[in-house]
């Protein structure tokens, strides 16, 4: 039985899984002769869902352990691997409690099924929000322990022994008295017939863990090194053709006309597909398709957005700052506070693109009764739905093969490229691989939109806050992407982290919704709400400290009494960075502190600024308390990755608009950080026994204010608008 048909059989057999655990195990025992255990992977946001007024869904399994008669262990999870190490950490959790080697566990992404594999909080097959590991921590270990207990019980029955006389090791049950051994595969049939234990099996103490908490080798590395790993761009179904595409460059524009002859004259070009908003050239190979597309003179109906530019978008957001927002956070009474001094600052952050290493791509084949898609996507169920919409076929006629992702960063939380590929494939009598050029990738992105903030702070005579008011202006992405996080006019992601981890007696955060023009698509960007708000809050705290004449670390220390984990990471980062030491002329250290995704992070940047305004980030030090670090190497890699991604944005990132078009088109106009400019990044992990938090996103947001605060301490110039403008840094004090 193939993996696809086996999963279809499993889904049918389980029927939504509203059964007792005993009935569930009996039901799936016959599937392929394997023992199959289903369980629910949750998320770290159950409390957030409750605050949003939405209860979690009724219990249903969305992950499965299969143990075959030959002893092979397969973990089917609803999460995808996009470089973040999800497969490895999930395998570690299971292998630890199941008592098998990491080399004995194979991880498979679940096939598309929004019902069977739905996230209990997000409500779909979503990999994002740094939620995979926190959502698996408790249930995946427990599923491993319970499955191990069933196998032990099966062996005890066969040997007429007590379970207490048996132990497990590397996929075997061993009788401690006579050293008899049975492999797990030999026990699966018997285990599936046993009654479920009345109580959960006990978990190992953390002190006995051999895999969890250790830097084991990643399970996806060998295939990526030897070239056998399959990304979406590697899909090669038989008879595949290649398409180069150009969608309307003007937001919400349409195709007005095109002469197809120049493209058809190019050797290897098979056809030109003209749709209402795009033109695609289909050929025998990519070069012919691109050459044919370049030969075309496409005429566009530019529509109502032809005169939109960045200045107009910024002006709209500035105007929104003058409006009262919907209250998202309220502590005490800001209006009733009687400060001795008042502080006000306005921040502007630009649009940003994702610029993933693997450009957007999707391969599709559409026939009259079937649609098949090969892609790398963070939202597999949505990809299937978009393919169904585009093909006009029901969901059960749409097959999606999900592959590894060459970078997600939130871009592949959308499925627009799947919809587009299927629309094109409907006009091609063969599978067609649509690969976007880098220009198309950047200009047709789902951008992080303009975000503006204004902060008012009232301070006492010593300069400490007595009131904190933050107004956030931006789009409500969650209103359409994950409505559970949008309520009463507040986008919970947009205001996430908008008051920081600090103990303010009186605080208010309000949200003013400002959407982009129709056709200018916006979406999630790595770090989501924190990338907007941590920069603002930490810049303000640093500015207040300077105005009060208090060391920035000491100032934060006085505000973190109710967040001991935040305080601890700040102290560690400061120590490791040598905070307080005498610096050279033009050097500065900048601190930022944040909590989010269940983790606590402090970031220190060391920056050197020259009198001409040019600067260099010389060193970055991070200290994180992410609870149990399941794989410390992955934690470090993710923080380093986040720092590099954030540095690209804070130094260069800006998407601009002219005549309704995105101006930037490739890495020459939308630069990313090069290896030669990447500073050393140190990561220090605070030992913890708390449940794991997310690590994929915090590093990105933490570096923004760490760099700009360091620039201030080197030059006396405060950065309020991003990316950093070196012209504004000229003529600073540049003192030692």
Q: What is the C-alpha separation between 175 and 161, in angstroms, rounded?
A: 9
Residue scoring higher pLDDT (436 or 31) = 436
Q: What is the C-alpha separation between 555 and 541, in angstroms, rounded?
A: 8
Q: What is the C-alpha separation between 417 and 409, in angstroms, rounded?
A: 16
By the 8 A CB rule, do 635 and 645 touch?
A: no
Give the other-Cβ count within 10 Å of 250's Cβ.
21
Contacts 24+ apart (CB under 8 A), 320-324: 320/452, 320/473, 320/512, 320/514, 321/346, 321/452, 321/454, 321/471, 321/473, 321/512, 323/512, 324/510, 324/512
Q: What is the C-alpha separation between 29 and 193, in angstroms, rounded?
A: 8
What's the mean pLDDT in 89-98? Answer: 96
Residues 6+ apart with CB under 8 A from 47: none
Please report the pLDDT score of residue 560 as a whole number: 98
Percent pLDDT > 90 in the chain is 84
The strand pair at 490-491 and 486-487 is best described as antiparallel
Apex 681 CA angle, 677 and 687, nearest 5: 170
Please report the pLDDT score of residue 11 as a whole number: 39
Place of tokens 């003013």: 512
Q: What is the C-alpha separation between 539 and 556, in angstroms, rounded?
A: 12
- Please choose, from the candidates 630, 570, 612, the residue with its C-alpha nearest in 3D space to the C-alpha of residue 594: 570
Say which range, 45-49, 206-210, 221-225, 250-254, has the weakest mean pLDDT. 45-49
By the 8 A CB rule, do 608 and 616 touch?
A: yes
Please report the pLDDT score of residue 3 as a whole number: 39
Q: What is the C-alpha separation between 122 and 129, in angstroms, rounded?
A: 10
By the 8 A CB rule, do 534 and 702 touch?
A: yes
What's the mean pLDDT in 686-715? Answer: 96
Q: Which two tokens stand for residue 173?
A: 């049950």
For the chain, the C-alpha Rg in angstroms (whole number) is 27
pLDDT, tens digit, 9 for 90 and up, residues 249-296: 999 999 999 999 999 999 999 999 999 999 999 999 999 999 999 999
In the structure, what pLDDT confidence band is assigned to residue 395 with cuts at 50, 70 and 90? very high
Cite the beta strand spans of 475-572 per DSSP E.
486-487, 490-491, 507-513
The DSSP symbol for 437 reads: -
Q: Give the burial class of 674: count Cβ atoms within 10 A of its Cβ; 0-12 exposed, 13-18 middle, 19 or more buried.
A: exposed
Cite the beta strand spans of 628-693 per DSSP E.
657-658, 661-662, 681-685
Please report the pLDDT score of residue 571 as a whole number: 98
Q: What is the C-alpha separation between 533 and 455, in angstroms, rounded?
A: 11
pLDDT above 80: residue 603: yes
688-701 exposure pattern, b = at least 16 Cβ within 10 A, e = fewer: beeebbbbbbbbbb
Q: What is the C-alpha separation between 678 and 686, in angstroms, rounded?
A: 25
Q: What is the C-alpha separation between 498 and 537, in angstroms, rounded?
A: 7
pLDDT, tens digit, 9 for 90 and up, residues 9-66: 333 333 333 334 433 333 334 355 788 887 777 654 343 333 334 444 444 567 789 9
By the 8 A CB rule, do 188 and 68 touch?
A: yes
In the structure, what pLDDT confidence band is assigned to residue 329 with cuts at 50, 70 and 90? very high
Give the other-Cβ count within 10 Å of 261's Cβ.
10
By the 8 A CB rule, do 694 and 635 touch?
A: no
Place of tokens 């209860």: 55
Please report the pLDDT score of residue 264 as a whole number: 98
Place of tokens 């120590």: 575
Sheet of 326-331, strands arranged across: 326-331, 507-513, 465-474, 451-459, 341-349
Q: Give the burial class of 663: count Cβ atoms within 10 A of its Cβ; 0-12 exposed, 13-18 middle, 19 or more buried.
A: middle
pLDDT, tens digit, 9 for 90 and up, residues 104-159: 999 988 888 887 887 766 777 888 888 888 888 998 999 999 999 999 999 999 99
Residue 145's SS3 state is helix
- Please choose, from the candidates 126, 123, 435, the residue with its C-alpha nearest in 3D space to the C-alpha of residue 293: 435
Please report the pLDDT score of residue 688 as a whole number: 96
Please report the pLDDT score of residue 115 as a whole number: 78
Please report the pLDDT score of residue 52 as a whole number: 39
- Please choose, from the candidates 536, 542, 622, 609, the residue with its C-alpha nearest in 3D space to the C-alpha of residue 574: 622
Q: What is the mean pLDDT of the chain?
A: 91
Q: What is the C-alpha separation between 432 and 365, in angstroms, rounded?
A: 6
**Phi-psi map region of 665: left, alpha, beta (phi>0 left; psi -120 to 50 alpha):** alpha
**Phi-psi map region of 635: left, alpha, beta (phi>0 left; psi -120 to 50 alpha):** alpha
Please report the pLDDT score of residue 123 as a whole number: 73
What's the mean pLDDT in 151-169? Answer: 95
The DSSP symbol for 406 reads: S
Domains along the chain with CATH numbers:
3-226 (3.30.365.10), 232-302+360-435 (3.30.365.10), 311-340+447-729 (3.30.365.10)
What's the mean pLDDT in 608-629? Answer: 97
Please report the pLDDT score of residue 32 as a whole number: 59
What is the pTM (predicted TM-score) of this model?
A: 0.92
Percent pLDDT > 70 in the chain is 92
Q: Which two tokens stand for residue 735?
A: 């003192």
Please report the pLDDT score of residue 444 as a whole number: 98
Q: What is the C-alpha separation between 30 and 10, in angstroms, rounded?
A: 10
What's the mean pLDDT in 362-382? Answer: 96
Q: What is the C-alpha separation between 732 and 99, in angstroms, rounded?
A: 60
Q: Reduce the secondary structure of 49-105 to three states and give it as a string.
A: HHHCCCCCCCCCCCEEEEECCCCCEEEEECCCCCCCCHHHHHHHHHHHHHCCCHHHE
């Amino acid at each position: 039985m193939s993996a696809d048909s086996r999963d279809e059989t499993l889904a049918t057999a389980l029927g939504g899984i509203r059964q007792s655990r005993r009935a569930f195990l009996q039901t799936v025992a016959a599937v392929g002769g394997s023992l199959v255990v289903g369980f629910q992977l949750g998320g770290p946001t159950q409390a957030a869902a409750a605050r949003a007024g939405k209860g979690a869904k009724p219990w249903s399994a969305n992950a499965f352990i299969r143990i075959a008669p030959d002893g092979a262990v397969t973990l089917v999870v609803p999460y995808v691997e996009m470089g973040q190490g999800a497969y490895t950490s999930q395998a570690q959790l299971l292998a630890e409690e199941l008592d098998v080697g990491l080399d004995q566990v194979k991880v498979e992404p679940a096939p598309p099924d929004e019902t069977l594999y739905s996230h209990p909080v997000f409500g779909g097959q979503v990999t994002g929000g740094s939620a995979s590991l926190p959502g698996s921590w408790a249930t995946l270990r427990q599923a491993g322990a319970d499955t191990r207990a069933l196998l032990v019980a099966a062996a005890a029955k066969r040997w007429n022994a007590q379970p207490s006389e048996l132990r497990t090791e590397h996929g075997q049950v061993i009788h401690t008295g006579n050293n008899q051994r049975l492999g797990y595969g030999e026990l699966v049939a018997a285990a599936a017939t046993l009654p479920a234990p009345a109580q959960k099996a006990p978990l190992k103490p953390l002190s006995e863990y051999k895999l969890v908490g250790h830097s084991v080798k990643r399970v996806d590395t060998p295939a990526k090194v030897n070239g056998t790993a399959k990304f979406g761009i590697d899909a090669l179904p038989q008879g595949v053709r290649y398409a180069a595409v150009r969608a309307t460059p003007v937001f919400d524009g349409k195709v007005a006309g095109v002469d197809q002859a120049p493209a058809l004259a190019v050797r290897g070009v098979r056809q030109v597909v003209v749709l209402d908003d795009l033109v695609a050239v289909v050929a025998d190979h990519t070069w012919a398709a691109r050459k044919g597309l370049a030969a075309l003179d496409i005429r566009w109906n530019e529509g109502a957005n032809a005169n939109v530019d960045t200045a107009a978008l910024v002006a709209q957001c500035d105007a929104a700052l003058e409006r009262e927002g919907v209250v998202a956070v309220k502590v005490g009474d800001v209006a009733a506070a009687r400060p001795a001094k008042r502080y006000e600052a306005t921040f502007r952050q630009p649009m940003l693109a994702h610029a993933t290493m693997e450009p957007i791509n999707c391969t599709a084949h559409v026939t009259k009764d079937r649609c098949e898609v090969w892609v790398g996507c963070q939202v597999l169920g949505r990809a299937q739905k978009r393919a169904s919409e585009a093909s006009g076929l029901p969901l059960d006629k749409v097959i999606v093969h999900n592959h590894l992702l060459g970078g997600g960063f939130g871009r592949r939380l959308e499925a627009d490229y799947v919809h587009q590929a299927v629309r094109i494939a409907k006009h091609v009598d063969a599978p067609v691989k649509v690969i976007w050029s880098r220009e198309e990738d950047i200009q047709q992105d789902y951008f992080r939109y303009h975000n503006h903030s204004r902060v008012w702070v009232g301070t006492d005579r010593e300069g400490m806050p007595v009131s904190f008011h933050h107004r956030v202006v931006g789009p409500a992405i969650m209103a359409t992407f994950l409505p559970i996080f949008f309520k009463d006019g507040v986008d919970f992601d947009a205001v996430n982290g908008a008051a920081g981890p600090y103990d303010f007696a009186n605080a208010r955060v309000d949200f003013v919704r400002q959407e982009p023009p129709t056709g200018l698509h916006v979406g999630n960007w790595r770090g989501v709400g924190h990338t907007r708000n941590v920069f603002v809050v930490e810049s303000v705290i640093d500015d207040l400290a300077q105005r009060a004449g208090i060391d920035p670390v000491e100032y934060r220390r006085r505000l973190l009494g109710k967040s001991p984990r935040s305080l601890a990471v700040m102290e560690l980062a400061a120590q490791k960075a040598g905070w307080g030491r005498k610096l050279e002329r033009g050097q500065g250290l900048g601190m930022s502190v944040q909590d989010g995704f269940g983790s606590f992070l402090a970031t220190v940047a060391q920056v050197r600024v020259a009198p001409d305004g040019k600067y260099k980030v010389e060193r970055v030090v991070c200290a994180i308390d992410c609870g149990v670090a399941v794989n410390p190497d992955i934690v470090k890699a993710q923080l380093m990755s986040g720092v590099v991604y954030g540095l690209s944005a804070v130094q260069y990132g800006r998407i601009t608009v002219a005549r309704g078009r995105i101006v930037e088109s490739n890495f020459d106009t939308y630069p990313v950080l090069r290896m030669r400019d990447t500073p050393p990044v140190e990561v220090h992990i605070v030992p913890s026994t708390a449940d794991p938090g997310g690590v994929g996103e915090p590093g990105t947001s933490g570096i923004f204010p760490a760099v700009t605060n360091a620039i201030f301490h080197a030059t006396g110039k405060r950065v309020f608008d991003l990316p950093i403008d070196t012209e504004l840094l000229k003529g600073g004090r540049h003192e030692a």
